[in-house]
């Protein structure tokens, strides 16, 4: 039975000295998986809300912003994305966006916690509608160990759809992990990873990520910006890194001629997301 709440769910951001709150109607689900506490709330204005260990993962209302930007810019930057690896992404929203691309032949998604996917199938079925696609392969195991045992050059794009770089997720932001991802990538291969808020995390997360990605041998790195209301500051990034080419262009004509529907992403948004505010540009140029 749903548990009534009629209260507010609040996630504080200690480093930003701020918090984000949503008024909830009831708690729909709660469980402790072998890895984390998973909760789902019904909210007044954002639909269902997925919370893991007290941190907001997504809402029904605004998740399309994140999932579209985690997938389409990278796939339209790569000249011919066929083999995709997603590390994390257990809610399957990024997987669904990736599978909209006709060039994609296989997507392997590796998330350590199967319960996140099963809870998402129940409470966010719109995100999981492509789980049965024959091109999709869902594995539930440690992503770092999976990457370490794969053959070199076996994928075109690696998407790291991870939690924050704390606790178990910290290793996904390490130079060793980036080096393993680079090893997996073929020619023109791309890595994309969520990289938190430029307003709160430029010094603590984004700058170290640039150093480690470059230290792992990637030729170029660029952060793309987009709004994300339910995340700290409402201003988010994902960071692209290219194995052996600079990131300056993308297949704009292919974006214009795409046969699938997007709610946020288009060619103009892609171009705009590549522009960097001055404080961020100066901070990253100094590295």
DSSP state of 102: T
Q: Please, where in the chain does CATH 2.30.140.10 lie?
A: 3-59
So which residues are the catalytic ones?
Answer: 161
- pLDDT tens per residue across span 58-78: 999 999 999 999 999 999 999
CATH class of the domain defined by 3-59: mainly beta
Question: What mean pLDDT comes out for the span 129-136?
Answer: 98
- pTM here is 0.96
**pLDDT reported for residue 255:** 98
Q: What is the CATH number of domain 63-285?
A: 3.40.50.150
Chain segment 190-219, per-residue pLDDT in tens: 999 999 999 999 999 999 999 999 999 999
State residue 95's pLDDT score: 98
The pLDDT of residue 3: 54
Residue with tokens 């009534």: 4
Residue extent(s) of CATH 3.40.50.150 domains in the chain: 63-285
- Which pLDDT belongs to residue 140? 98
Confidence of residue 153 (pLDDT cuts 50, 70, 90): very high
Gap between the Cα atoms of 155 and 184, Å rounded: 6
Closest-CA residue to 153 (of 177, 179, 189): 189
Residue 166 has pLDDT above 70, yes or no: no
Higher-confidence residue of 167 and 8: namely 8
Work out the pLDDT band at 279, boundaries 50, 70, 90. Answer: very high
Q: For residue 272, what are the CA distances in angstroms to 150, 167, 243, 269, 282?
A: 35, 33, 23, 5, 18
pLDDT at 168 over 70: no
Summarised one tens digit per residue, pLDDT across range 96-116 is 999 999 999 999 999 999 999
Based on its alpha-carbon atoms, the radius of gyration of the chain, rounded to whole angstroms, reads: 18
């Amino acid at each position: 039975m749903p548990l009534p709440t009629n209260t507010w769910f609040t996630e504080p951001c200690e480093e930003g000295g701020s918090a984000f709150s949503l008024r909830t109607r009831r708690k729909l689900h709660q469980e402790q998986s072998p890895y984390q506490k998973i909760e789902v709330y019904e909210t007044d204005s954002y639909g269902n809300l997925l919370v893991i260990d007290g941190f907001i993962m997504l809402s029904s209302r605004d998740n399309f912003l994140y999932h579209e930007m985690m997938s389409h810019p990278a796939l339209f930057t790569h000249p011919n994305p066929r083999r995709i690896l997603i590390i994390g992404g257990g809610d399957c929203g990024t997987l669904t966006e990736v599978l909209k691309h006709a060039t994609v032949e296989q997507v392997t998604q590796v998330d350590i916690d199967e319960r996140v996917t099963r809870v998402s199938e129940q409470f966010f079925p719109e995100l999981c509608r492509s789980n049965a696609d024959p091109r999709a392969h869902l594995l539930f195991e440690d992503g770092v160990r999976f990457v370490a045992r794969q053959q070199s050059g076996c994928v075109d794009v690696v998407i790291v759809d991870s939690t924050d770089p704390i606790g178990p997720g910290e290793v996904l932001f390490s130079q060793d992990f980036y080096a393993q991802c680079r090893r997996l990538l073929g020619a023109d291969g791309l890595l994309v990873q969520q990289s938190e808020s430029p307003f709160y995390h430029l010094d603590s997360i984004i700058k170290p990520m640039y150093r480690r990605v470059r230290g792992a041998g990637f030729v170029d790195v660029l952060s793309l910006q987009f709004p994300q209301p339910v995340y700290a500051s409402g201003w988010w990034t994902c960071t692209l890194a290219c194995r052996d080419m600079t990131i300056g262009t993308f297949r704009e004509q292919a974006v214009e001629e795409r046969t699938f529907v997007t709610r946020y992403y288009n060619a103009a948004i892609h171009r705009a997301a590549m522009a960097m505010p001055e404080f961020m540009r100066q901070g990253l140029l100094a590295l």
